[in-house]
Amino acid sequence: MPVKNIMNVVGCTCAAVLLMACAQTHPPLGEELVVVLPGHDGTIGGVVVRRNNSEQVLDKAFAGSRIGSQGTQEAMSLSAEAVNKIFSDTVAALPGRPATFLLYFLEGKDELTTASNAELANVLDEIKRRPAPDLLVTGHADNVGSDVVNDKLSLARAERMRELLTMRGINVDRIQVAGRGKRELLIVTREGVAEERNRRVEINVR
């Protein structure tokens, strides 16, 4: 089997197709390998590979198409282990699975509870494991008070969390913040009912 100079691996989710390439130091042979990867949640998208008058639809995990120097196509089915070995550098560069944390606040304040203040260390550990993390911090409020008050309070909580993270060395440019007021209650309650689990920030680390 000839040695390949150019290899392409296609990672598919329902929303996007990601193309990656890695080159070796062998003379060009004009060959390509296209492989479909499952998404983080196991979903499979699909890709159509066309060369000359030939067409192959890849819509299963680790399905592949080897394209020869003359444009010929050969259907393949690889194992996860084989893909990781062939494309080790590329797979290592893929973004990690998103992680979500919930931290809770004292009633009517932008101050974390004691337990959530301790949980902040786990958030920082997750961020530091990623070479280029992106964070979305969304503040929420419970069902006590008006919409206007809770909109301001939820945003203040998100901004306070951004402040705490930047104080611990996280680049502020990598943190987006938003406030959702009491529009997205985690625990549905009647109007005016205080509920700690609704007084929260959701931190999504990507």
Looking at the structure, do residues 111 and 181 belong to the same domain, yes or no? yes
Q: Is residue 113 part of a domain?
A: yes
- Choosing from 92, 111, 141, the residue where a domain stops is 92
Between 148 and 32, the higher pLDDT residue: 148
Looking at the structure, do residues 28 and 115 belong to the same domain, yes or no? no
Looking at the structure, do residues 31 and 71 belong to the same domain, yes or no? yes
Q: Is residue 1 part of a domain?
A: no
Domains contained in the chain, number? 2
Distance of alpha carbon 171 from alpha carbon 151, whole angstroms: 25
Supply the pLDDT for residue 24: 36
pLDDT, mean over the chain: 82
Looking at the structure, do residues 87 and 109 belong to the same domain, yes or no? no
Looking at the structure, do residues 108 and 125 belong to the same domain, yes or no? yes
- Helix runs in the chain, H state only: 80-86, 88-92, 114-128, 147-167
Give me the domain span that covers residue 158: 99-205
Looking at the structure, do residues 165 and 189 belong to the same domain, yes or no? yes
Looking at the structure, do residues 129 and 196 belong to the same domain, yes or no? yes
Looking at the structure, do residues 18 and 106 belong to the same domain, yes or no? no
**Measured on CA atoms in the order 105, 108, 110, 113, is the torsion positive or negative?**
negative
Phi, psi of 116 (to 5 degrees): -70, -30
Q: How confident is the model at residue 100 (pLDDT cuts 50, 70, 90)?
A: very high
The CATH number covering residue 157 comes to 3.30.1330.60
Q: Is residue 55 part of a domain?
A: yes
Supply the pLDDT for residue 41: 66
Supply the pLDDT for residue 40: 65
Q: Is residue 183 part of a domain?
A: yes
Supply the pLDDT for residue 82: 85
Residue burial 93-126, b: 16+ Cβ < 10 Å; e: rest: eeeeeebebebbbeeeebebbeebeebbeebeeb
Distance of alpha carbon 193 from alpha carbon 63, whole angstroms: 53
Of all residues in the chain, the percent with pLDDT exceeding 70 is 81
Between 22 and 201, the higher pLDDT residue: 201
- Choosing from 92, 116, 132, the residue where a domain stops is 92
Looking at the structure, do residues 112 and 201 belong to the same domain, yes or no? yes
- The H-or-E segment that residue 57 falls in is strand 54-58
Q: Is residue 137 part of a domain?
A: yes
Q: Is residue 14 part of a domain?
A: yes
- Choosing from 74, 92, 110, the residue where a domain stops is 92
Tokens 């680790």, located at residue: 62
Q: Is residue 11 part of a domain?
A: yes
Per-residue pLDDT tens over the stretch 158-201: 999 999 999 999 999 999 999 999 999 999 999 999 999 999 99
Q: Is residue 37 part of a domain?
A: yes
Supply the pLDDT for residue 95: 65
Looking at the structure, do residues 12 and 49 belong to the same domain, yes or no? yes
Looking at the structure, do residues 174 and 81 belong to the same domain, yes or no? no
Looking at the structure, do residues 80 and 119 belong to the same domain, yes or no? no
